[in-house]
Structure formats: structure tokens, C-alpha cells
């Protein structure tokens, strides 16, 4: 009989990301042979647990966020997978969110809502914030737009929260309006919303805000409720556990990043607006969002909007970068993704609920959009 692996988890539970990582580790252990888990609640600045120095274990999964933890991990000489973007022990394999995909998802959402002026509110203490900043700027510039950045250095981030919010408010007041703003994570987005309130800026009409992590409790406590990108926390934890199992079995795992794609953007009131001043385009977009999955086509839109197809397509392309037909298909495919992830419905039933006459056309359109078949998309996201 093989002995049970002893694995230490140095992961915080104080935020949605850490809890999701732990759920992913649990999912891996349930699907494979069980581990004996040593769990220590860790804050980002906490020292390593005292027992780690003399612990007779087999492996560690850790968010290595400070140099004391890094030193203890190196000294332990145990197989370890790092799940932090800080990269304080470069010799370790590491699992992290795909920050380029996260930033692009937020930028695409704001652009689809009609915004052409953008801002990013970051936190210079964290690599993932710096990476998301640059990727968001790149995604915005790819659409021939510019982005203003608020990312004070670490010293200023130690100031009281109300001072930080006042500084964010001053930055927001200077932004051309309406503006779409991405915050590096939900807590920063909460501060942006507070700054908007103090500066008497209407959300989402003047400033639309998107966060990252989709911490549901935090998002719902925000005023108004916060739209947020949902990373695949659980898949990141699962992948870290899979890599550690390989290392504990004697396999060499190169010290390269394993980047996990985000799941979706959860739209709430903070960005649920259409920043388009063309009344016909705004009405058409409203109809499409309401009825795209009811079997709508462009002729249905034209019956409600008193312009020719050529004129409407020209305005759509100029303001939104897509045609009405492309927007209808996009809305339908977004609904398909949600049903694939959140339900056990068959593909034929999903096709019926999203306005596709034929399953085959749904599959072709879905693969062209995502690069994966619906079945593969569902299996990979859940796994």
C-alpha cells in the first residue's frame, strides 16, 4: 500500500480567490488518492507557521507573498507549487490567473457598452495589478482608444483608506466622461465606487466600474452592486494540486507559469449601461440584449428602429465595431456559455433556449468564437 501524502496548504481564506483555490485542491484530492492535509491560515504579510521548519511532510502548495515565507519554503527543500504572482522563488513552478485574458474581458465588456474613454485603477504592490494594467492599456489601444492610469506606489497605498479614496476621486473627476474604469480587484473597485459617490459622479452613467475576483458578498455590498470578472479560482487550485502530485512522484516540473483562463464577467449595476448617444443604436442594442435568444434576427430589429439596414449597420460599425448580426450572435453565444457552465442541460436544449435552430450551427459558431467545441468548453471549465 502507498503511504498517504502529507501536504501543507499555506493559503488564506479571507478572500474569494483563496477560498476558490482551496476548493480546487479539495476537488483534486477527491478525484484521486487522498492526502493528509496540514492547513495553516495565512495572511499576505504573515510569517511562516512555526511547525513548517521541522515538519516531516511530502509537499506544499503556497501563496508565497513575502520573503519570510519564501525563505522557509526554500529551506524546507520540499516539493512546492507556488500560487502567487509575486515570484519570490523563481525555481518553483507556479499557477496564476491569465491576467491578459482578464484585462481583455473587462475591456471588451466596456467597449461593447459603448465606452471610448477608459481608466485603470491599480495597486503597485502586486505583480498581477501591474500586469493587468498593461494588458488593459493594450486592449484599449488595440481599439484606437486611450487609457488613464491611477496606480500609486506602495508608500501612498499605506495611507488611510479615506485618503486613498479622496485621491481616486480627484483622478476620476479629471477623466473625460463617460468613462469605463477597470479596477485591479474587487476591493480596489469598491474604493472607486466610494470615490464616485464622494465626487458625486453617477455610476454607471458617468463612470462604469468593473472589478476582478467576483467576490459575491463584496460585490453585492457595493453601491451600486459591482460588475466583476470571475477567474477560475477552482481550476487554479486543481492544477496546483496536479502539479504537486507529479513532483511528489519524482517527476520534474519546469518552473514555468501555468496560466488559468477566467470564466466570465458577472454583470451587475456598476457597468450595466449603454454609453451610446445615438438613440437608434441604443434602442437596437436594448432590443438585442432583451430578445437575441428568442430567435431574433436583424429584420426584427429594423421593424422597431426606423432606419434602413445599411444605415443601422454603418452606425453600429462606427460606434461599436460590430454589425447588428454580429452583436445578436455574440449575445446568444454568451448565453450559451452560461448555460454550459451553470447547468446540465443538453446541447439541443441549450440551442433551443438560445435561439439556434440547429445544434450543428450552434457548435460551428461556438467553436469559431472560442476555439473549442461546446462539450470541450464545458468539460475543461468544470475540471
- 3-state SS, the chain, equals CCCCEEEEEECCCCCHHHHHHHHHHHHHHHHCCCEEEEEECCCCCCCCCHHHHHCCCCEEEECCCCHHHHHHHHHHCCCEEECCCCCCCCCCCEEEECHHHHHHHHHHHHHHCCCCCEEEECCCCCHHHHHHHHHHHHHHHCCCCCEEEECCCHHHHCCCHHHHHHHHHHHHHHCCCCEEEEECCHHHHHHHHHHHHHCCCCCCCCEEEEEECCCHHHHHHCCCCCEEEECCHHHHHHHHHHHHHHHHCCCCCCCCEEEECCCEEECCHHHCCCCCCCHHHHHHHHHHHHHHHHCCCHHHHHHHCCCCHHHHHHHHHHHHCCCHHHHHHHHHHHHHHHHHHHCCCCHHHHHHHCCCCCHHHHHHHHHHHHCCCHHHHHHHHHC
Backbone angles phi, psi at 169, to 5 degrees: -60, -40
Over the stretch 162-177, which tens digit does the pLDDT of each residue have?
889 999 999 999 999 9
Q: How confident is the model at residue 156 (pLDDT cuts 50, 70, 90)?
A: low
- Which domains, ranges and CATH numbers included, belong to the chain? 5-96+233-260 (3.40.50.2300), 99-232+265-271 (3.40.50.2300), 279-382 (1.10.10.60)
Residue reference for cell 525555481: 91
Provide the mean pLDDT of the chain. 91
Mean pLDDT of 295-323: 90
Count of Cβ atoms closer than 10 Å to residue 185 Cβ: 26
pLDDT at 117 over 90: yes
Check residue 1 and give its pLDDT.
56
The mean pLDDT value for 110-135 works out to 93
pLDDT digits (tens, 9 = 90+) for 226-284: 999 999 999 999 999 999 999 999 999 999 999 999 999 999 989 987 776 787 887 88
- Position 157 confidence tier, pLDDT thresholds 50, 70, 90: low
Task: State the pLDDT confidence band at 188, using cuts at 50, 70 and 90.
Answer: very high
The answer to whether 119 and 183 have CB atoms below 8 angstroms apart is no
pLDDT above 70: residue 382: no
177: left (phi over 0), alpha (psi -120 to 50) or beta: beta
Phi and psi dihedrals of 45, rounded to 5?
-95, 5
Lowest mean pLDDT among 179-183, 282-286, 361-365: 282-286
Amino acid at each position: 500500500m502507498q503511504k498517504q501524502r502529507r501536504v501543507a496548504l499555506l493559503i488564506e481564506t479571507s478572500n474569494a480567490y483563496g477560498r476558490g483555490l482551496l476548493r480546487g485542491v479539495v476537488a483534486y484530492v477527491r478525484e484521486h488518492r487522498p492526502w493528509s492535509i496540514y492547513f495553516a491560515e495565512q495572511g499576505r504579510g504573515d510569517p511562516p507557521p512555526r511547525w513548517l521548519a521541522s515538519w516531516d511532510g511530502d509537499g506544499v502548495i503556497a501563496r508565497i507573498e513575502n520573503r519570510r515565507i519564501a525563505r522557509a519554503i526554500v529551506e524546507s527543500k520540499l516539493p512546492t507549487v507556488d500560487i502567487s504572482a509575486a515570484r519570490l522563488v523563481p525555481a518553483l513552478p507556479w499557477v496564476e490567473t491569465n491576467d491578459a485574458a482578464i484585462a481583455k474581458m473587462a475591456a471588451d465588456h466596456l467597449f461593447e457598452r459603448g465606452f471610448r474613454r477608459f481608466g485603470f485603477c491599480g495597486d503597485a504592490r502586486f505583480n498581477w495589478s501591474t500586469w493587468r494594467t498593461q494588458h488593459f492599456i493594450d486592449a484599449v489601444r488595440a481599439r484606437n482608444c486611450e487609457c488613464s492610469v491611477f496606480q500609486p506606489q506602495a508608500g501612498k497605498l499605506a495611507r488611510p483608506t479615506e485618503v486613498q479614496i479622496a485621491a481616486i476621486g480627484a483622478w476620476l473627476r479629471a477623466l473625460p466622461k463617460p468613462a469605463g474604469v477597470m479596477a485591479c480587484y474587487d476591493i480596489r473597485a469598491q474604493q472607486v465606487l466610494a470615490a464616485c459617490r464622494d465626487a458625486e459622479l453617477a455610476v454607471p452613467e458617468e463612470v462604469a466600474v468593473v472589478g476582478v475576483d467576483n467576490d459575491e458578498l463584496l460585490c453585492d455590498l457595493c453601491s451600486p452592486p459591482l460588475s466583476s470578472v470571475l477567474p477560475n479560482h477552482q481550476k487554479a487550485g486543481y492544477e496546483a494540486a496536479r502539479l504537486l502530485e507529479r513532483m511528489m512522484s519524482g517527476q520534474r516540473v519546469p518552473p514555468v507559469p501555468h496560466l488559468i483562463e477566467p470564466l466570465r464577467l458577472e454583470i451587475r449595476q456598476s457597468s450595466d449601461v449603454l454609453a451610446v448617444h445615438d438613440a437608434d443604436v441604443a434602442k437596437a442594442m436594448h432590443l438585442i440584449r432583451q430578445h437575441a435568444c428568442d430567435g431574433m434576427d436583424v429584420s426584427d430589429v429594423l421593424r422597431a428602429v426606423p432606419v434602413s439596414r445599411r444605415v443601422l449597420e454603418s452606425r453600429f460599425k462606427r460606434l461599436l465595431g460590430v454589425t447588428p448580426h454580429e452583436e445578436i450572435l455574440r449575445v446568444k453565444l454568451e448565453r450559451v456559455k452560461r448555460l454550459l457552465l451553470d447547468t446540465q442541460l443538453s446541447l439541443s436544449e441549450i440551442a433551443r433556449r438560445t435561439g439556434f435552430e440547429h445544434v450543428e450551427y450552434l457548435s460551428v459558431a461556438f467553436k469559431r468564437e472560442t476555439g473549442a467545441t461546446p462539450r470541450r468548453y464545458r468539460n475543461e471549465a468544470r475540471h
